[in-house]
Amino acid sequence: MTLEWIAVPRLDYSLVVNGNPSQGAVNPVSSMYDILAETSGADPFTFNAIVGAWFRPAPSLQFGLAGQVVPANIVTHSTLTLTAQDPAFLGTISTGRDGNSASDVTVTLPLPLLVRGGGRYRHLAAGRELFDIELDVEYETWSRVKAFTVDSTVDGHSLVATPMSAYASPVPIGTITVAKQWKDVLSVKLGGDFNLVPDRWTLRAGVYYETAASPSAYANVDFPAGAQLGGALGGSLLLHPWEVALTYQLRYQPSFTVAEADARVYQQTPGGSCTAPSSDPNVCNANSGTYAATSHLVSLAVVYRFGR
């Protein structure tokens, strides 16, 4: 069993919102009423846990099963900053609640459950492992993520955005919902270790494929949630009982295109009417376009083994 403490020291999330208070007034590209909404906050503690087991029916074969079993959400207590994209028209924008200055919001990002099964072959010579090959299959319940929410209400009272302009009136912010409609993800991972210098240097490499978490109609620029291809290289220096491991991983999301007629992430219009299902996707949909992503990850681990 592994107990996990997930700490998010800072989470910044931003979105352009159409602040036009008139019902039916929508501008899919840009508008004098466009407002950049930025949230910044933290979640110092979210609990989770992994439980699992493995067995070795023969010296060269090992099988394992594990799962991340606690339903959890990242919930940040954040501050909201609103900036007019046309300050000459809207001026500065203040926020308040019940007549008092306030800028507090809550941002909620759900996390998935996970189950992973794997098999490992160890090539032994004179009782010493020369190399191994491992195949893992992993299933993550990203279908828990129906939307990201930015909630500005406290005891039923919403934040209100007030532009310092004669051309705009105050607009209740309420709850901003960014549609996701993610689905469960299946990934297959293949990798292995090679003991270059026994009991001193180990090299490792691996590749994987992961199905898309997001249907293409709900693609967005905040998270790369399409199908993923990946590879990793790494190595370990063994100084018994210590081990120092360094790994580099490349994640690549092949490009795909969302047509305007297929897009289902709608422009945020707290005072307007861009809600699903829109009768005119060319007016309200905000996520049509071409998406691609590349990520580079580097990890460093220091391990101490008792009894070695």
**Least confident stretch, 59-63, 133-137, 261-265:** 261-265
pLDDT of residue 286: 77
pLDDT of residue 272: 63
Closest alpha carbon to 244 in 202, 286, 206: 202
> Region 12-26: what's the mean pLDDT?
76
**Domain residue limits, the chain:** 2-304
> Region 255-274: what's the mean pLDDT?
81
pLDDT band per the 50, 70, 90 thresholds, residue 65: very high
pLDDT of residue 178: 86
Burial 198-237 (b: 16+ CB within 10 A, else e): eeeebebebebebbbbbbbbbbbeeebbbbbebebebbbe
Please give the distance of CA 261 from its chain centroid, rounded to a whole number. 26
Query: What's the CATH number of domain 2-304, 3.30.70.580, 2.40.160.60, 3.90.25.10, 3.40.228.10?
Result: 2.40.160.60
pLDDT band per the 50, 70, 90 thresholds, residue 276: low
Name the percent of the chain lying above pLDDT 90: 69
* Rounded Cα–Cα distance for residues 39 and 97 (Å): 17
pLDDT of residue 215: 95
> Region 201-226: what's the mean pLDDT?
95
Greatest mean pLDDT among 27-31, 169-173, 219-223 lies in 219-223
